[in-house]
Structure 1
Amino acid sequence: MIKHTNQQSIKRAALMISDADGLIITAGAGIGVDSGLPDFRGNQGFWQAYPALANKQIDFMSMANPQSFRKNPNLAWGFYGHRLALYRETIPHVGFRILKTLGETLSGGTFVVTSNVDGQFQKAGFSEKGILEIHGSIHLCQCIEPCKEDIWSAAGLNPEVDESSCQWLGPLPACSHCQSIARPNILMFRDSEWLEGHFLEQESNWNMWRKVVKRPVVIELGAGIDIPSIRYFSERQESPLIRINPRDDVLSKVNVGVSISMGAKDALIAIAQELDLNF
């Protein structure tokens, strides 16, 4: 059952989409929860997903850190290898298809800006040229040093992980140039070694798209307040904003828009139904 206030917000959101010439999708980790991906909000959520790290009292910030690959590379790759396998297996929920269909109804199309590293938008059929991953991607690798500016695909990695200890089994991924340990091309905490080449290419695509589309609407999904980079990005667009979040749905006073206190999948289904969208 949709709350009365959410019903009104969904009607307003549908009108905002109808008036737009392009769709900016801004997405945080919350969009993946309906696909079964873990929520790392706070230590308890992280440790529930990774009990081996809970036993050692290792938190997310300590693991998502380039130093973890130097201190304990088997543990670091155990964590990231498990995530890589999980994201490869995960099927994006119906909300992704709704977003793609919504964008196809607008003359300017769609651009995705996400802090997620999971590649779920690409898996759902969104064009690589229409995606900006501000924190990088787990599906790409780089040298830990880094010895060169090279970024390469992780498609050749076949993670084997002992989940009981969160340990990578077998030879560790390595840089083909210097044989140092490889790491995911993800912007981590306290990270001065992240190679930005792929990100900068994506950012260039974003800048070109944004110059062409004059009246976009922003749909923000599952963007939290603990690391508010996506929320700030949404608010900077000076465009109508639809904020979808079951917990942190409050809009900034400077934004024209609407907030919907629901999960991403349910809210998108409701909007699609309001627009008589076939999905």
Structure 2
Amino acid sequence: MENDYAIRQAADWIRDADGLLITAGAGMGVDSGLPDFRGTDGFWRAYPALRHHGLSFEDIANPAGFASNPRLSWGFYGHRLALYRATAPHAGFDILFRLASTMKHGAFVFTSNVDGQFQKAGFPAARVAECHGTIHLLQCIEACTDQVWPEDDFNPIVDNSTCLLKNEMPRCPHCGGLARPNILMFGDWKWVSRYADRQEQALAAWLESVERLVVVELGAGRALPTVRCFSERQRRQVIRINARDYSISPAVGVGIAGGALEVLQRLDNTLSGLT
């Protein structure tokens, strides 16, 4: 019953909105079949070879690894890159795209995900802000330049039994040193944030133009609360969709328990008058 009320309230807000801010964490990709790294056991189920090394997600998602064991670091990121390239966004992305198409100012995405799934689903790159960077761009491991570049020509070959990259690692075209993904990692002092900074400037300008904003937050957990905090800073009409951590202050929004795809389909049916 609690979910039913929240769904109806969310539908009313969406009908009245002239701009849709989509904020998304890792839970958004689960319905597309992407792994859930929640907890060390969840991470090791996705990458059993790293259990042998005794490495947690925080250990491998760390720039220090590119100096100490670059083939292992690139094996991990290379596998993720290939997985994201092969993954089709689930139908919930289409629902969000369609809802935004009815609004005067359309949609803007703010996400901590580095997978590029929103762009793959048809959202314009100019309307996506990736606060932790993206796996689809490279930078110099030493940050010899503030330039980033596409990794379109890099096709990783990974030995799944060892999580080691088998082919040539990408190099920086400026200094010839090792390149790495343009992702904000743990303990990362050399992340080149120029591209992400431009995205967030565009988002700030878009928010200024919207008069009746609605926020749909999907799969953003408490462990890294960047997305949740950004949603709540809007302080109005936040629809928090989360299988576990869906609570939110009634002064800010409504919480709906469930996965991204399931709840978006229910919202879509309510808006269409089917329920």
TM range, normalised to the smaller chain? over 0.9
SS in 1 for 2:21: strand
Aligned residues: 274
Which of 72, 80, 84 aligns to 2:81? It is: 84
The CA distance in 2 between the partners of 1:211 and 1:45, in whole Å, is: 40
Which of 230, 233, 237 aligns to 2:230? It is: 233
Number of the residue aligned with 2:203? 206
Structural mapping, 1:172-251, within 5 Å: 172-251=169-248
Number of the residue aligned with 1:140? 137
Number of the residue aligned with 2:120? 123
The CA distance in 2 between the partners of 1:9 and 1:170, in whole Å, is: 50
* Residues 90 and 277 (structure 1), Cα distance of their counterparts in 2 relative to 1, 3 Å cut: farther
The CA distance in 2 between the partners of 1:115 and 1:136, in whole Å, is: 8
| Structure 2 residue 53 is the aligned partner of structure 1 residue 56 | yes
SS in 2 for 1:252: coil
Please provide the CA RMSD for this pair. 1.2
| Structure 2 residue 269 is the aligned partner of structure 1 residue 273 | yes
TM-score normalised by the chain length of structure 1: 0.96
| Structure 2 residue 87 is the aligned partner of structure 1 residue 103 | no
The CA distance in 2 between the partners of 1:128 and 1:225, in whole Å, is: 27
Contact 2:156 2:167 in 1 (8 A): no
Instruction: List runs of 5+ in structure 1 lacking aligned partners.
Output: none
Deviations 1:5-45 (A, max 9, x none): 21221111100111211100000000100000000111011
The CA distance in 2 between the partners of 1:277 and 1:40, in whole Å, is: 37
Number of the residue aligned with 1:264? 260
Instruction: List runs of 5+ in structure 2 lacking aligned partners.
Output: none
Contact 1:27 1:116 in 2 (8 A): yes
TM-score normalised by the chain length of structure 2: 0.97
Contact 1:66 1:191 in 2 (8 A): yes
The CA distance in 1 between the partners of 2:273 and 2:77, in whole Å, is: 38
1:241 Cα deviation from its structure 2 partner: 0.6
Contact 1:9 1:260 in 2 (8 A): yes
The CA distance in 2 between the partners of 1:199 and 1:185, in whole Å, is: 9
Instruction: Indicate the percent of aligned positions where both proteins have the same amino acid.
Output: 53
